[in-house]
Amino acid sequence: MANKLFIGDIMNLSVAEIGKEYIVKDVLTGDEELNSFLFSLGCYKGEPITVIAHKRGGCVVAIKDARYNIDKDLAEAITVEE
Protein backbone atom coordinates (compact mmCIF):
# COMPACT_ATOMS: atom_id res chain seq x y z
CA MET A 1 0.00 0.00 0.00
CA ALA A 2 1.28 3.46 -0.85
CA ASN A 3 -0.08 5.15 2.29
CA LYS A 4 1.80 2.96 4.76
CA LEU A 5 4.53 4.61 6.76
CA PHE A 6 6.66 2.36 8.92
CA ILE A 7 9.95 3.46 10.45
CA GLY A 8 10.81 0.88 13.08
CA ASP A 9 7.80 0.93 15.40
CA ILE A 10 6.63 4.33 14.07
CA MET A 11 3.62 4.45 11.73
CA ASN A 12 0.85 6.84 10.79
CA LEU A 13 -2.72 6.60 12.06
CA SER A 14 -4.12 5.39 8.75
CA VAL A 15 -2.45 2.00 9.31
CA ALA A 16 -2.66 1.83 13.12
CA GLU A 17 -4.41 -1.15 14.68
CA ILE A 18 -7.98 -0.56 15.89
CA GLY A 19 -8.34 -0.51 19.68
CA LYS A 20 -4.62 -0.27 20.41
CA GLU A 21 -3.23 2.73 22.29
CA TYR A 22 -0.32 4.53 20.66
CA ILE A 23 1.78 7.55 21.56
CA VAL A 24 1.77 10.52 19.17
CA LYS A 25 5.30 10.83 17.79
CA ASP A 26 4.76 13.87 15.56
CA VAL A 27 2.11 15.87 13.70
CA LEU A 28 3.35 16.68 10.18
CA THR A 29 0.58 18.82 8.70
CA GLY A 30 2.69 21.76 7.48
CA ASP A 31 -0.14 24.05 8.66
CA GLU A 32 0.52 25.93 11.90
CA GLU A 33 -3.16 26.78 12.41
CA LEU A 34 -4.15 23.12 12.05
CA ASN A 35 -1.33 22.10 14.41
CA SER A 36 -2.63 24.59 17.00
CA PHE A 37 -6.15 23.23 16.63
CA LEU A 38 -4.95 19.65 17.10
CA PHE A 39 -2.94 20.76 20.13
CA SER A 40 -6.11 22.23 21.65
CA LEU A 41 -7.78 18.81 21.22
CA GLY A 42 -4.89 17.10 22.99
CA CYS A 43 -3.26 15.67 19.87
CA TYR A 44 0.42 16.47 20.29
CA LYS A 45 3.75 14.71 20.72
CA GLY A 46 3.85 12.35 23.69
CA GLU A 47 0.08 12.03 24.18
CA PRO A 48 -1.78 8.72 23.94
CA ILE A 49 -4.19 8.19 21.05
CA THR A 50 -6.35 5.21 20.07
CA VAL A 51 -7.90 4.42 16.68
CA ILE A 52 -11.53 3.45 17.31
CA ALA A 53 -12.44 2.71 13.67
CA HIS A 54 -11.12 3.06 10.15
CA LYS A 55 -13.57 4.70 7.76
CA ARG A 56 -13.36 5.10 4.00
CA GLY A 57 -12.45 8.79 4.29
CA GLY A 58 -10.27 8.56 7.41
CA CYS A 59 -10.64 7.23 10.91
CA VAL A 60 -12.22 7.81 14.32
CA VAL A 61 -9.73 8.38 17.13
CA ALA A 62 -9.95 8.73 20.89
CA ILE A 63 -7.85 11.49 22.44
CA LYS A 64 -8.17 11.96 26.18
CA ASP A 65 -11.92 11.54 26.94
CA ALA A 66 -13.23 12.49 23.48
CA ARG A 67 -13.62 10.93 20.04
CA TYR A 68 -12.89 12.71 16.77
CA ASN A 69 -13.38 11.84 13.12
CA ILE A 70 -10.28 12.78 11.11
CA ASP A 71 -9.83 12.62 7.36
CA LYS A 72 -7.33 10.40 5.53
CA ASP A 73 -4.78 13.16 4.91
CA LEU A 74 -4.69 14.10 8.58
CA ALA A 75 -4.51 10.45 9.65
CA GLU A 76 -1.46 10.06 7.42
CA ALA A 77 0.12 13.22 8.89
CA ILE A 78 -0.04 12.00 12.50
CA THR A 79 2.78 9.57 13.25
CA VAL A 80 2.54 7.29 16.26
CA GLU A 81 4.64 4.69 18.03
CA GLU A 82 3.80 1.75 20.25
Is the pLDDT reported for residue 3 higher than 50? no
Q: How far apart are CA 57 and CA 75, in angstroms?
A: 10
pLDDT at 50: 97
Is the pLDDT reported for residue 65 higher than 60? yes
Range of the domain at 25: 6-81
19: in domain: yes
Buried b (16+ CB within 10 A) or exposed e, 4-40: ebeeeeebbbbbbeeeeebebbebebeeeeebeebee
pLDDT at 1: 38
57: in domain: yes
37: in domain: yes
**Percentage of the chain with pLDDT > 70?**
89
pLDDT confidence tier of residue 7, bands split at 50, 70 and 90? low
1: in domain: no
CATH number for the domain including 53?
A: 2.30.30.90
DSSP category for residue 36: H
